[in-house]
Amino acid sequence: MPLYAAYGSNLDPQRMAARAPHSPARGTGWLVGWRLTFGGENLSWEGAFATVVEAPEDPASQVFVMLYDVAREDEPSLDEWEDGGTGLFTKLRVRVHTLDGDETAWLYVLDAYEGGLPSARYIGMLADAAYAAGAPSDYVADLRARPCLSTGPGALDA
């Protein structure tokens, strides 16, 4: 089975079970030398989308991920859920560091310029998903402290 590395809302095992019911969680890991960022604010009514980028300027930077064994019958629906036919996301293969050694997995990255702010609601959803996946408390706290749109279409007051 292909291995998928979730870093956004699919970190939450319950959410992922609804989106890809035949794809069990395998465990957690880290994208070392990568950072979580946001982009495509002009492409969404609710602020920027989460994505990951390599961080050569900060090789100690890390992004927490949940790994899933994605069943073949779930992959098309997961692709549709993530990209929605917009062409905004691309699949990329990455190396994930786990307690059991390195794994190769795929993930979705935004095919747009980095920059912009996500909505407060979106930041809350990402932090809740990271918490549900067992991310360290400092990682979850860092997510909750990220700058965001506190007002505007689709956003909640912070």
pLDDT tens readout for residues 103-151 = 999 999 998 888 899 999 999 999 999 999 999 999 999 999 999 997 5
CATH topology of domain 3-145: Hypothetical upf0131 protein ytfp (3.10.490)
Question: What pLDDT is recorded for position 151?
Answer: 55
Question: What pLDDT is recorded for position 30?
Answer: 98
- Distance (Å, whole) CA 33 – CA 53: 9
Domain ranges of the chain: 3-145
Q: What is the pLDDT of residues 2-34, one digit of tens each?
A: 899 999 999 999 999 999 999 999 999 999 999
Question: What pLDDT is recorded for position 10?
Answer: 95
Catalytic residue (choose from 46, 82, 103, 114)? 82
- Tell whether residue 29 is among the known ligand binding residues: no
pTM: 0.90
- Tell whether residue 9 is among the known ligand binding residues: yes
- Tell whether residue 131 is among the known ligand binding residues: no
Decide if pLDDT at 155 tops 70. no
Decide if pLDDT at 157 tops 70. no
Cα 136 to Cα 65, 114, 127, 145, 155, distances in angstroms: 11, 26, 11, 15, 26
- Tell whether residue 68 is among the known ligand binding residues: no
Cβ-proximal residues to 9 (8 Å cutoff; 6+ apart), any chain: 15, 125, 126, 129
Is 82 assigned a catalytic role? Answer: yes
- Say which residue, 71 or 84, is predicted with more confidence: 71
